[in-house]
Structure 1
């Protein structure tokens, strides 16, 4: 015996097709879809790995509570994919582990910390030396204090 349902399907005809980029490839999606829904529909699982143990994760609750849907959206890490509606030209990528500090435009392109950094990342000593105007290629002076008593 059928009853009236409060469930209403979205009118597909009223939604526009959009083009987004998923892991570098163009994908046609529908306006109103979330970034997490697009990743699930494309079979792009896992959508992230955890920072400490690199455990694979995927969207779970789809309502912004569990934070399992964190991904990189338009270059911004830790974006909640389930709460982010797609828009034309959006770039959606998996998030792999912890993010590192990368070279920014605030740093001089010719600075020694940029030259000495491996994988285009900076470590704490590079940052401190840059702030103090020291060349990171030069070892800091070591002073030995002898006890004369």
Structure 2
């Protein structure tokens, strides 16, 4: 009999279903990253869920990792190309793409980062905390101009 995740767990996967995940924590917030790298990677701002707990994966053989900087990898499905997660190499932290989650109804946008790099052509209507790139670097200690802990 298949084991089912706890009711507070979050599940999701890529477009083709080759990669699936279970997140044991019941995270309910996401952020939007407006940095140039995230916009190029996702085609717009990255809507991101910062995970504090462990993520269990199925289909890891389909995950391709691209080292986009000295401190991070951007990971995607090799079969369908879905942006899966941003991985902070030094800490092991995972930042999942919001669109992967099976149930997105309980999420609320709480923060926008790299607000100083947001193009003028779009704006989110709900009020959130906003941080410039310099403020993000100061918080996470990346120290490099193109670090982005979406």
Q: Is the TM-score greater than 0.5?
A: no
* TM-score, normalised with respect to structure 1: 0.24
Highest relative contact order (Cα 8 Å, sep 6+), 1 or 2?
2
Give 1 or 2: higher strand fraction. 2
Q: Give the structure with higher Rg (CA).
A: 1
